[in-house]
Structure 1
C-alpha cells in the first residue's frame, strides 16, 4: 500500500486476543462474521469549510483555541477523505474488508443543524461513498453522530438542552430518507459518555463547556431520549421497507477490584461499570429501564449534601422509561483497557468522578497501548 493511500485512510482497528494455546485457536471467522474498519468524520474528512459545510463544535473550538489541539493540529485537512474517499475504498478492498463504519458529519449536510438549509454537496458526498462501497461489496455501517455537532446548535445550548432530541430526530429522518435504501446498519451515537465530557470540560474537549457534574448528566438524558425516538421512528416508519437495524455504540473499560478478595473493592468495580456502561445500557437494555439504581442513589444524595433543591441527575418520567427501554437492534462496544478499582474520593465537587466514588489505577507491569491505555498481557 502506497504512503498516500495509508495517509488517506485513518483506520481504527480493535483486536481481541484470547488466552488460549496455539492448538486451541481457530483461525477462521464464523459464517456471517464481518471484518471491518472504522473512522470518524472530523478525524478523517478535512474540507472543514468546503462546498457549503457548516462549522462544527470541533472546528469552532480548535480555531478559537489552537493550543488545545495536539501540537496545534486540528481537523481542517486531516486525512483529506472528502477528496480521497475513492482511495479509501481502494484501501478497504486491499484490506479484504467486509464492512466500513464511517460517520456522517451533521454540519456537512445540514450546515445550521436544521432542515432550513440542506447542503446538496454534502448529500452527494455520502451518496458517492456509499455507492462505491456497495460496488465493491463492502457493507456501509453509518454512525449518525460522532462528536461533531453543528456549532449553530451549540449556540442554543447543545446536548444539555432537551430540545436537541427534536433536531436529532429530524436529522435522522433525512438520513433514512436519503440513504436508507442502501444503508442497513445505523448507529445513532458513538460513545455518548465521552462527548458528554465536552460539557464538563475546561478545555480540549469540544465544546469545552465547564458545567462539571451537571452538563454531562443533562447530555446523558437528552441522548438516551433522542436515541429511543430515532429507533421508534425507524421501527414505525422505515423498517418494513428498508429492512435495516438501528443500534448504539457505547464505550466501557473493564473494571477489576484492586484487591480481588475485598468486598469493598468488588463493590467499587461494579459501581464503576454501572456508572460507565450502565449509565446508558440500563435505560436501553434492561427490563427495568431508567438509570442504574446506584447512580440515582449517589447523585441524589450528593446533590442534597451540596444544598441543592433538586438532583443533578435528571429524572425520567415513567412514560420515558417505558418508551426508551428495548430500543436497540444491536449494541456496539468500544473498549480500550482494564482498570483496577477501589473505593475512594476523587474529583471536584460536583463531578462525575466524585459521584462515582472510586479510584482507578493501572498495574505498572501492563503494556501501554497506542491510545495511552494499558493492557494485561498473559
Structure 2
C-alpha cells in the first residue's frame, strides 16, 4: 500500500515528466565536431577543407563573417576540454575526425603524422579518464582537394571514403568501440549540393542532393563491410550512422495530413534509413520522383537507382542508429503542387511549418516540442524493426550564452522525459543520450550567434575561456541519480 501511495503521489506531482530511473547501463554523454571547435585550420600540416575555402573566399556566407579558423581552439586545449567532460561525469564523448587533418589532400598517399598524433592523444586522454570515445568519421568537412575532384557527386568519392575509413579503423580502432560513418548526410547533401546554403555551396536542387546521398549510402556500406571483414574480430566495436529529422505532426486529424506526415518522414529520414535497414529507397520517394521527372520531360527518374546487388550490399549495414532530433513541424499536402519545382522538398509534395504557439530557440529552425521525440522514436521502431538507438544530438540554443540557462535545463529535462517514455511505454531500444553541445561553438552559417554549449566560451578572449553554465550541474545530477525529478521509482530494482 505504501508503494502504491508513493507511486500515485509521484504520478500526480510529475504528470508531464517521467519518474522512472534510466537503466544503470544507459549512456549519458555530450558532443562536438572538428570544424566547429578545433581551430588550428592550417597548423601542423592540416589541409584545406570545403568550409575553409568557402568562408575564406566568401566571408558573408556566415553571420558576422565568423569562421572556424580558431573557434574554441580545442586543437590546443583538448586536455582542458576532456577535463570538462570528466567533470560532467558523462559516460561518453562524441567527437569527429577532421579528414583534412589526417589526410591533407584527402588521399591516403599523404598521411599527416601530427594529425594522427592529435587524435591519438585525445582518445588516450579520454580513455585515461574512463570516458568512452564515440567517433564520427565524417562531419561535413570534406578536404577541398576531393571537392575539386567532384566531391560527393563523384562516384570516385566512395573509394576515397573507404580508404579514409579503413585508415581510421587501423589507426584508432584499438581504443574506439563506437564508430559513426556520417553525421547528418541529409543536411550536407541537401544544403551543400542541392540548395547551396552550406559548403561547398553548390546549387543543383533536384539532382545534386540525390547523387550525393547515393554515394554517401554506398560509402557508408563499404566502410561497414570493411570493418566487419577486417577489424571487428580483433577490435570488437560497432559501426552505425547518424541521421537527423524533425518529428512531422499532421496539421489535422485527416487521413491526408497523416499520409503527409509519413511521406515527409520517408523523404527525410527514410531516404537514408530505408536502404540501410530495409533495402532501397522508400517507395513513396521512388514513385514521386519518377512521376515528377517524367512530367518534367526527362526519360528517367532523377533519383539514382541501386542495382539488386547494391541493395543487398547496403542493407543491414548498421550495428546501431544515431538519431539527431531537436524540433517538430506541422505538415499537410501541397495543394496543386508545381510539377516543375525542383528539390527533395518539392518532390515530397508536402509543406511544413512551425506553429506560432511553440517556444523558439535562437536557431530559426529550433522549436521546443518535447512531445515529438517519443512519437519519432516510436515511428522509427515500427519502420525499422526496433533498431538499437542512441540519441547522438539534442540541445537548445540561445543568443547570449547566459550562464543562468534555465531554458536549456527545461529543454533537456523534457526531451529526456520523452525518451524515457518511448523506452518505457513503447519498448523502443534506446541505449544512450548525447547533449549538443559540450561548448558554445561555431554553429555553421549562424557563426557564434547560436550558442548550444553546456559551457560558455568567451570568443573575445585569446584564451577562449570556458565557464560552466547552470545546465552543467543539472546534467551532472541526472547522470548521478539517473532520474529527471526529485524522487524516482527504480522499477528495475524495486522487486
TM-score, with normalisation over the residues of structure 1? 0.91
Give the direction of change, closer, same or farther, for the CA distance of 1:307–1:122 in structure 2 (3 Å limit).
Answer: same
Deviation per CA, 1:129-148: give whole Å up to 9, x if none: 00000000000000000000
Task: Pick from 259, 262, 285 the counterpart of residue 277 of structure 2.
Answer: 285
| Contact 2:92–2:131 under 8 Å retained in 1 | yes
2:303 paired residue number: 313
Q: Which of 115, 121, 137 is matched with 2:114 structurally?
A: 121
How far apart are residue 308 of structure 1 and its match?
A: 1.2
Residue number in structure 1 paired with 2:77 = 84
- 1:140 aligns with 133
* Gap change, CA 1:210 and 1:33, over 3 Å in 2: same
Kept after mapping to 1: 8 A contact 2:162/2:223:
yes
- Residue of structure 2 aligned with 1:35, choices 24, 28, 33: 28
Supply the RMSD in Å over aligned alpha carbons.
Answer: 1.6
Rg larger in structure: 2
Does residue 218 of structure 2 align to residue 200 of structure 1? no
Distance in 2, matches of 1:20 and 1:295, equals 45
2:263 aligns with one of 268, 271, 282: 271
Equivalent pair of 1:366/1:377 in contact (CA under 8 Å): no
Distance in 1 of aligned mates of 2:13 and 2:322: 28
SS in 1 for 2:249: strand
Kindly indicate whether residue 91 of structure 2 is the aligned counterpart of residue 98 of structure 1. yes
Does structure 2 retain, via aligned residues, the 8 Å contact 1:56–1:149?
Answer: yes
Structure of greater relative contact order (alpha carbons < 8 Å, 6+ residues apart)? 2
Q: Deviations over 1:274-313 (max 9, x none)?
A: 0011001110012xx1000000001011111111122110
C-alpha change, 1:346 and 1:105, in structure 2 (3 Å) is: farther
Query: Offset of 1:346 from its aligned partner?
Result: 7.2
Q: The residue matched to 1:181 in structure 2 has which SS?
A: helix
CA distance in 2, matches of 1:190, 1:377: 22
The answer for the alignment partner of 1:62 in structure 2 is 55
- Which consecutive aligned stretches of 4+ in structure 1 deviate over 4 angstroms post-superposition? none
CA distance in 2, matches of 1:354, 1:46: 37
Q: Contact 2:260 / 2:350 at 8 angstroms: preserved in 1?
A: yes
Q: For the residues of structure 2 that align with 1:101 and 1:265, how far apart are their CA atoms?
A: 37
Report the secondary structure of 2:260's partner residue. Answer: helix
Q: How many residues align?
A: 356
Between the aligned partners of 2:19 and 2:62, the Cα distance in structure 1 is 43
Deviations 1:10-61 (A, max 9, x none): xxxxxxxxx9952773364312111111001000000000000000000000
Show structure 2 runs of 5+ residues with no match.
Answer: 1-10, 372-495
1:362 to 348, 354, 358: 354
What SS class does the counterpart of residue 75 from structure 1 fall into? coil
> What's the offset of the Cα at 1:69?
1.2
Paired with 1:272 and 1:347, the residues of 2 have a C-alpha distance of 17
The match for 2:464 is: none
